[in-house]
Every structure is written in structure tokens, then in C-alpha cells.
A and B are shown apart, each in its own frame.
Chain A
Amino acid sequence: DVKVTQSSRYLVKRTGEKVFLECVQDMDHENMFWYRQDPGLGLRLIYFSYDVKMKEKGDIPEGYSVSREKKERFSLILESASTNQTSMYLCASSLFGRGGTEAFFGQGTRLTVV
């Protein structure tokens, strides 16, 4: 059974803190993604990675960075958390390949920045 696991379901952090969100997948997928979901805005792509140590900016990368040192792990880093980064964060992974492939999502991390 496919599995994408995010390290925390709920997090509360203070403004200015450095925040790490971790994601691990056990499907040997090449591609990994970080999205955030906000009411009325849907899912917006922050960063993605198609290989170890590779990363690409998505639609809203400002204020975030990522790290992919191992194939199965993709970390999202909020360098200095701000209240407008309060959101649901979703990690996903998918197989490399043309022709279309579905992405599998983790359970999400609800981050509140106070």
C-alpha cells in the first residue's frame, strides 16, 4: 500500500521561528512536491523535486526552501515563519514519466504561526 507520511499533523510556531516540515514516501517515487491549501485558493505548488538534490520553484516559493538529500525524503523549510504562512501543507509524490501519472498525498500538516 502506497504511503506518504508527513511528520506532524498539527504544529504551532511563533513568528520568526525556523520551521521544518518533513515528508517521507515509501514508493520509490522520483518526484516529490510541497503544496499549501488555503480556503478559496485550492492547492498551490510551493516547490517540487524530480531527483535527489534537485529542486524547482513552484508558483509560490517566496519564504520557503526545500531539501532533498535522499530519494524518499523531502523537507520544506520556512526560514522565518510569518502569520501569512498559517496554512495546511501537503506533501505528494509521483513516478517519473511522461503520459501522466497520479500524485499520492500525505495526510497534511496544519501549521499555525502565532
Chain B
Amino acid sequence: DQQVKQNSPSLSVQEGRISILNCDYTNSMFDYFLWYKKYPAEGPTFLISISSIKDKNEDGRFTVFLNKSAKHLSLHIVPSQPGDSAVYFCAASDPGAGSYQLTFGKGTKLSVIP
């Protein structure tokens, strides 16, 4: 049973426009959420995170929004650049479960078209 879902396998956006990547989760015990970016043949790199006590976190061109009641988070990239083309993974953590693992979604492949 998938606890973190990224329902869009791929997304294409024009350079300079906004990219919005979505993520839904089912486990109400998740209280920390992260986005990772992954290029082919490389490991994922951390992008931005948000704690459940917040509803927004911003870092430069990247903003993550959290809607706890809907169990939904999104990553906004503004403006999108060709170098942003990568696979983006949403991840969630439930520290109360006694483990420290991250549960990942299946990823969304973002293509930014010049």
C-alpha cells in the first residue's frame, strides 16, 4: 500500500514558467516532508523540506506548500530553468514510528523546455 503518492509520472513546462509538482500521503502520522531531485546515474539530492507545523517553506526559486487536512503537498519552482529537468521525489517521515526512514513516492519526471 503506497503511503506517499505522486500521481503524475511526468510533467513538461516551458522555461520561465511555473512548475508545480504534487504529492499526496495517506499516513496521518507523517510530520516531516522533503523533496529530492535526482539526475540520471546520480544519487538524489535534498532540495527543500517542511515540518507539519508549517504550511509553507520557501528557498529561492523553490517553495513547498503543505495542506495537512487534505494530506497534500506541492513543490513550486518559479521560474523554471532547463537545469531543473530531473526526477523529483517526495518523501515523508514518521519519527513516532520508532524508525528514521523516509518513505518515498515514485517520482515525477520534470522536463523544462527551453
Bound pair (A, B): yes
- Chain A residues within CB distance 8 Å of chain B: 4, 9, 31, 33, 35, 40-45, 48, 50, 56, 58, 90, 92, 94, 96-108, 110
Q: A48-B99, A48-B101, A90-B43 are in contact. Are A102 and B106 (CB under 8 A)?
A: no
Contact B43–A48 (Cβ < 8 Å):
no
7 nearest CB pairs, A to B: A100-B32, A105-B43, A42-B106, A43-B104, A98-B95, A102-B46, A31-B100
B51 touches A99 (CB 8 A): yes
Contact B34 A102 (CB under 8 A): yes
Contact A90:B95 (CB < 8 A) given known A41-B106, A103-B102: no
Chain A CB within 10 A, most for which of B93, B100, B104:
B100
- Chain A residues with CB under 8 Å of B44's CB are 43, 90, 105
Residues B1-18 near A (CB distance < 8 A): 6, 9
Look across to chain B and name the residue whose beta carbon is closest to the beta carbon of A6: B43
Pairwise interchain contact A108-B100, C-beta atoms closer than 8 A: no
Contact B89 A108 (CB under 8 A): no
